[in-house]
Homo-oligomer: A and B are copies of this chain.
């Protein structure tokens, strides 16, 4: 329901239970692609599972340490983008996450959606730094990080196991002073 406009064809909506049906269908359709990268995929087997997930995103939004948005392209739900916020160590830090239906790849959608989330993170939540961690082999995702102007800060060995495969993870990050609104 509640929206953030990006441009004429693209907008975000704060994730809401009314998104559950469409979000589940898109997830289910992309199951083959997603299973390589997304840890939570096996936990989502029905619309009810998606509703449970959505309820948790709203609880965390209420605590002001998380923002989860559905991404809409020409009013069709095409993906999801999230910003987790952590305080501690004297700084306010965010971490991006996202997924996008395969049929919507290659249009620059996630690039714009994540850029909007950086804007929210730095301007509305006053973060000092926003991070993106992606499997080294997930080139598409590493690409997004680089185009957002993020720097490569490290490579963590054997840091994640998805679908039985042990993977190295790249850490990317951008500081508040490095961020330029598009």
Size band of the interface chain A makes with B: 35 or more
Whether, in the assembled complex, A148 has its beta carbon less than 8 Å from a beta carbon of chain B, the answer is no
- Cβ-closest chain B residue relative to A2: B2
A159 touches B129 (CB 8 A): yes
B90 touches A160 (CB 8 A): yes
What are the interface flags for A34-68 relative to B under an 8 Å C-beta threshold, 1 for contact and 0 otherwise? 00000100000000000000010011011010000
| Chain A interface SS verdict (over half) | strand
- Cβ-closest chain B residue relative to A18: B124
Whether, in the assembled complex, A91 has its beta carbon less than 8 Å from a beta carbon of chain B, the answer is yes
A155-B158 in contact given A2-B13, A39-B89, A62-B55 (Cβ < 8 Å): no
- Cβ-closest chain B residue relative to A91: B161
| Cα–Cα, bound, A153→B160 (Å) | 14
User: Which of B4, B39, B175 is within 8 Å of A158, CB to CB?
Assistant: B175
What are the interface flags for A1-33 relative to B under an 8 Å C-beta threshold, 1 for contact and 0 otherwise? 111110000000110111000000000000000
| Cα–Cα, bound, A91→B162 (Å) | 10
Whether, in the assembled complex, A102 has its beta carbon less than 8 Å from a beta carbon of chain B, the answer is no
Instruction: Enumerate chain B residues within 8 angstroms of A143, measured Cβ to Cβ.
Output: none
Whether, in the assembled complex, A77 has its beta carbon less than 8 Å from a beta carbon of chain B, the answer is no
| Cα–Cα, bound, A154→B14 (Å) | 34
Interface set of A (CB-CB < 8 Å, partner B): 1-5, 13-14, 16-18, 39, 55, 58-59, 61-62, 64, 89-91, 120, 124, 128-129, 151, 153-162, 166, 171, 173, 175
